[in-house]
Amino acid sequence: MKRGIIDGKAAAAQIRRRAADTATRLREEHGVICGLAVVLVGEDPASQVYVRNKSSQTREVGMNSFEHRLPAATSEEELLALVAKLNNDAAVDGILVQLPLPPHMNSGRIINAIAPHKDVDGFHISNVGLLGTGQRALVPCTPLGCMMLLKEVHGDLSGLEAVIVGRSNIVGKPLAQLLIAANCTVTVAHSRTRDLPSVCRRADILVAAVGRPEMIRGDWIKPGASVIDVGINRVERSGKFRLVGDVDFGEATSVAGAITPVPGGVGPMTIACLLVNTLTAAHRARNLPEPVGLTA
């Protein structure tokens, strides 16, 4: 088992190289160029950065990127019409509608309008249900990235006790399903869990995805445990802003056996896994074998 700081940037770069190789083989052997459509509604600054990064990385691995930028005043029906058009576009293998959407839109309705086999975010109720019942699904990108990092550290996860702090539909719940499928014993905890520090100290694998800056302290961590910090929080320190995770990194590094930093840990894996999901969707749509080493 590899110990120390888990380098998410290096792991994501390796995944992108594998994705590029897979995209090349798909093009050369089957004449298929994968396509990812990203839809952004409104002018949210963070979302604009995410969309720009997703589009550039999509092109870098040899896939087509289709950007659709819509004004914040776009109606829900107009967005649904665009999604329907993308569902029927043979050049598009994956569809991502960037969240959050403007307040006047029903995010659940939009997400569930995406064709499940093109839902590369893994948020459609069909993919959620398939994942929850142990069937083949498109898996949310951040949990998929977490699993790849954990397998890089541990190899076989069978028999390990995992505690996830955070019960979101985006990270906590789907990651719990993936860990169960990997034969871990899984506890999903949250801010209202009684004696949360004691629960965390049981974990061989501790995942922090609660959205509270540095909530997980060093003495909450079992010595030698692997810590995956999903949190990205902007905090002010001495008049300057910086990004921190949900784990107190300074305290945790003296206890954990392996830990992801913030930034540079889970974050880079999320976009890399979006590319992976697009390639997976393209292969499944054409009844081709799954890409090797790129699925959960």
229 dihedral zone (left: phi>0; alpha: psi -120 to 50; beta): beta
156 dihedral zone (left: phi>0; alpha: psi -120 to 50; beta): beta
Selecting among 54, 118, 173, 222, the annotated active-site residue is 54
Selecting among 121, 229, 246, 248, the annotated active-site residue is 121
Q: How far apart are CA 178 and CA 180, in angstroms?
A: 5
CB 266 within 8 A of CB 10: no
Q: What is the 3-state secondary structure (H, E, C) of the chain?
A: CCCEECCHHHHHHHHHHHHHHHHHHHHHHHCCCCEEEEEEECCCHHHHHHHHHHHHHHHHCCCEEEEEEECCCCCHHHHHHHHHHHHCCCCCCEEEECCCCCCCCCHHHHHCCCCHHHECCCCCHHHHHHHHCCCCCCCCHHHHHHHHHHHHHHCCCCCCEEEEECCCCCCHHHHHHHHHHCCCEEEEECCCCCCHHHHHCCCCEEEECCCCCCCECHHHCCCCCEEEECCCEEEEECCEEEEECCECHHHHCCCCCEECCCCCCHHHHHHHHHHHHHHHHHHHHCCCCCCCCCCC
Selecting among 57, 98, 177, 229, the annotated active-site residue is 98
Q: How far apart are CA 97 and CA 258, in angstroms?
A: 33
In the residue annotation, 54 being an active-site residue is answered as yes
In the residue annotation, 177 being an active-site residue is answered as no
In the residue annotation, 118 being an active-site residue is answered as no
Q: Which residue reads 């028999």 in tokens?
A: 159
Catalytic residue positions?
Answer: 54, 98, 121
